[in-house]
């Protein structure tokens, strides 16, 4: 399997060192650099062009500022925000900068490794509870009619896949659960995004969670 080249930027040295020790045990992951500031993040992106850069938000220079510059100048570098912040503003800002994942620091090591592989394969990930919180805040006080029509367009199979997407399941994991090839799952996901008129998995997951909450009221 292809080696995933990773750089880690976090100004908490104890956390960074612990993360490094965990990821170095993974045979398919190569650590190419580490840093503690936004300036370090941009430098590492420029000098090493890692496949993935794990980046905290709260650091000297601002993690989101670094993410914005990296996405603009080094788009091949996929950014995973790994942070303690559960703030909706931070989540939305990170996604708008082009980060491919937003993960909380309490994540289990094995789950983080799985997320890294998913992002490397082109997927987007947001901790499902955070997606649900964003949805709740976005729709607070809103009594507009729920978007039933788009969901009615989905086949039973697509509905099932959408539920798994909303749960944060990767395409590979969906394939294993449903006995489908990953390529077939990607085809289904493309159809789902088109039918729901959304741009990515995160928006589809949020829309699915809203639909579920509307039906449980």
Other C-beta atoms closer than 10 Å to the C-beta of 23 total 19
Q: Considering only residues 147 and 21, tell me which one the structure prediction assigns the higher pLDDT.
A: 21
Taking the complete model, does pTM exceed 0.95, yes or no?
A: no
- pLDDT tens, 17-65? 999 999 999 999 999 999 999 999 999 999 999 999 999 999 999 999 9
- pLDDT tens, 91-135? 888 888 888 889 998 888 889 999 999 888 877 788 777 766 665
**What percent of the chain clears pLDDT 90, i.e. is strictly above it?**
41
CA–CA gap between residue 72 and residue 133 (Å, rounded): 28
DSSP 60: T
DSSP 100: S
- Closest to 17 measured CA to CA, from 2, 37, 35: 35
Q: Considering only residues 119 and 203, tell me which one the structure prediction assigns the higher pLDDT.
A: 119
Report the chain's mean pLDDT, rounded to a whole number.
84
Q: Residue 63 has what pLDDT?
A: 93
Q: Considering only residues 29 and 214, tell me which one the structure prediction assigns the higher pLDDT.
A: 29
CA–CA gap between residue 90 and residue 81 (Å, rounded): 10
User: With bands split at pLDDT 50, 70 and 90, how would you rate the model's confidence at 147?
Assistant: very low
CA distances from 32 to 35, 45, 53 (A): 11, 10, 10
Q: Residue 201 has what pLDDT?
A: 80
Q: Alpha helices of the chain — where are they, by DSSP H? A: 13-23, 38-48, 63-73, 88-97, 109-120, 128-138, 148-152, 156-166, 171-178, 182-196, 201-215
Whether the predicted pLDDT of 143 surpasses 50: no
């Amino acid at each position: 399997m292809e080696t995933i080249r990773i750089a880690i930027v976090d100004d908490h040295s104890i956390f960074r060192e612990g993360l490094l020790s965990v990821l170095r045990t993974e045979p398919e992951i190569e650590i190419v650099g580490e840093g503690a500031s936004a300036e370090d993040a941009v430098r590492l992106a420029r000098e090493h062009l890692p496949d993935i850069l794990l980046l905290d938000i709260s650091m000297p220079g601002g993690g989101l500022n670094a993410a914005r510059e990296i996405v603009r100048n080094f788009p091949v570098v996929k950014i995973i925000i790994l942070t303690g912040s559960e703030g909706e503003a931070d989540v939305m800002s990170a996604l708008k900068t082009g980060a491919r994942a937003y993960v909380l620091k309490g994540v289990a090591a094995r789950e983080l490794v799985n997320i890294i592989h998913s992002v490397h394969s082109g997927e987007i990930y947001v901790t499902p509870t955070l997606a649900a919180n964003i949805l709740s805040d976005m729709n607070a006080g809103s009594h507009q009619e729920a978007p039933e029509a788009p969901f009615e367009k989905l086949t039973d199979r697509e509905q099932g896949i959408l539920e798994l997407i909303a749960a944060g399941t990767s395409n590979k994991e969906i394939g294993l659960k449903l006995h489908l090839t990953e390529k077939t799952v990607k085809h289904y996901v493309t159809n789902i995004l088109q039918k729901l008129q959304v741009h990515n998995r995160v928006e589809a997951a949020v829309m699915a969670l809203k639909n579920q909450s509307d039906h449980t009221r």
